[in-house]
Structure 1
Amino acid sequence: MSNSRRLFLKGACIAVVGASGFTLARAKSTSATNVEPACKYALVHDETKCIGCDACSIACREVNQVPEGVDRLEIKREGPFGEYPNQQFHFTRISCQHCDDAPCVKVCPTGAAYKDPKTGIVCVDEWKCVGCQYCIAACPYQVRFINPVTKAADKCDFCKETRLKENSLPACVSACPTKALTFGDITDPQSQVVQVLKSTPSYRSKTDLGTRPKVFRIASQSGEIEL
């Protein structure tokens, strides 16, 4: 599809959306969110094993051709905690949470944001995206951005269009030198990700919002503050 045709379609979408008040598109996206996928991919980040080396974010950028200035995946560093020489840092993964009940999908007026019916991965169809940024505003995890090359909303998609198509693990998982990341289908009781979640206490971010995120975290003990 040529750029001119894409721009035409975007303009047409904006006009239609403005006239309809988003009713039809939002109803479609809501119904799509409620469809149960054939499997549900999830990720576990073991913060006790993470060393903040950035191998995951570098691999993500290279494999998915993420432009400079934006990130699908970041590692947030906090610390140091404790007294020298026993100081430690706390590393937190910042990326799309692939919510079961995704606010970004609900507000998208064109259906560009959607949940893949096969994998449960929250995706973006860049050809449908009109750059309205409603999904960016709706995301409670603040992990979406406008790709400066495609001009469409972008974020982590678990390497759905790259590594998963090759039946390989997401780039971040393969690149991690300490095996701090585990990926798999949480509907499969025999999967590694389920075994990890069964054997180790974990937590998820902002579960009080009802989004049911599919990125789980094993909490690092370092950095806790005792009151």
Structure 2
Amino acid sequence: MDTNRRGFLGAMGRVTIGAVASMAGAGQSAQAAIDKPHIPHWGMVVDLRKCIGCQACTVACIMENDVPEDSFRTHVSVYEVLKEGGDPAMVMLPRLCNHCDDPPCVPVCPVEATFKLETGEVVVDNTKCVGCAYCVQACPYDARFINHETQTADKCTFCFHRTSAGLLPACVETCVGGARNFGDLDDPESEVSRMLRENEVSVLRPEMHTNPNVYYIGLDAVLDGRVAGEAAYRPPLTVETQPHGEDA
């Protein structure tokens, strides 16, 4: 967590210094070097080896973003995986908006309420949104929902209001196991860039070619990175209890 925080804060304050090449022609001198603010490209790397399914991220997101009851911007789906010859295993899969570089939710919006920021986040302007739910249907990750209080589309924003103030997203700040890592994907020195270089990573629904900015380390091969989403949905309880005792 501390390393993640230092890398994130470093990206917020970093500037790049570039030199403008001299123009062709005799007598023209090279232009002076100029300072240009570095615009980060935010992304998340989720290390599933560290996720314990505690749902602290889910609760933090609800509290931070005032998410209405029975709706979620992020959620940890829990699956029971049974492999041949092995014991059943519980697999955790944190879900959220993937903030795609080619988001299918953007072109279907009839009023341009959904759009992508220069820093990579896909957001919704709820003063424009008419609640048609086209974007909800277009999202291959089930990461959007219609907020029943505002009647507009709602979703994860990478906590844009926090990152703009130099803070980490609420789910990252609260993750007790350090499974969620957030930072600048364009900065080769950032923690998330290092994790992408040093680990085998997967994305969800790669066949959709959305170029997501949420990556997973340790995604179980059984899930194959193609799980139909439950990020904004709480699965119903389906476990049947069995009585215990002499009459069971």
TM-score (norm 2): 0.70
Show the 5 A alignment for 1:50-61: 50-61=51-62
Q: Deviations over 1:53-105 (max 9, x none)?
A: 0000000000111111110011110126579xx76410011211101000100
User: SS of the counterpart of 2:171?
Assistant: helix
SS at match of 1:105: coil
| C-alpha RMSD over aligned residues | 2.2
Matched with 1:128 is: 128
Post-superposition offset of 1:220 = 4.5
Mapping for residues 7-156 of structure 1, pairs under 5 Å = 38-79=39-80, 81=82, 88-117=89-118, 119-156=119-156
Q: Distance in 2 between matches of 1:138 and 1:223?
A: 25
Q: Give the structure 2 partner of residue 180 of structure 1.
A: 179
Question: Displacement of 1:222 after TM fit?
Answer: 9.0
In 2, the alpha carbon distance for the partners of 1:188 and 1:126 equals: 31
Residue pair 1:90, 1:223 contacting (<8 A) in 2 also: no
CA distance in 2, matches of 1:176, 1:80: 24
Whether the 8 Å CA contact 1:88–1:223 is kept in 2: the answer is no
| CA–CA separation in structure 2 for the residues paired with 1:224 and 1:209 | 16
Aligned partners of 2:122, 2:93: CA distance in 1, in Å? 21
C-alpha distance 167-54 of structure 1, shift in aligned 2 (>3 A): same
Q: Distance in 2 between matches of 1:222 and 1:212?
A: 20
Give 4+ residue runs of structure 1 displaced > 4 Å after superposition. 80-83, 220-225
Partner residue, 2:210: 211
More helix by percentage = 1
TM-score by length of 1: 0.76
CA gap 1:151/1:38 in 2 versus in 1, 3 angstroms: same
Matched residue, 1:194: 193
* Counterpart contact for 1:79–1:88, Cα < 8 Å: yes
Give the distance between the partners of 1:80 and 1:205, measured in 2 at CA.
Answer: 17
Report the identity percentage.
Answer: 42
Larger Rg: 2
Do the aligned residues in 1 keep the contact of 2:202 with 2:215 (CA within 8 Å)? Answer: yes
User: What is the total number of aligned residue pairs between the two structures?
Assistant: 186
Query: Is contact 2:62-2:72 (8 Å) kept?
Result: yes
Counterpart amino acid of residue 48 in structure 2 = E
How far, CA to CA, are the matches of 1:187 and 1:203 in structure 2?
Answer: 18
Q: Verify the 8 A CA contact 1:145 1:155 in the aligned structure 2.
A: yes
Q: CA offset at residue 39 of structure 1?
A: 2.6
Amino acid at match of 1:212: N
Q: What stretches of structure 1 of length at least 5 have no aligned partner?
A: 1-36
Deviations 1:98-141 (A, max 9, x none): 01000100111111000012x11000000010111110111111
AA at the equivalent of 1:130: V
- Contact 2:202/2:219 (<8 A) preserved: no
Tell me if structure 1 keeps the 8 A contact 2:172–2:178: yes
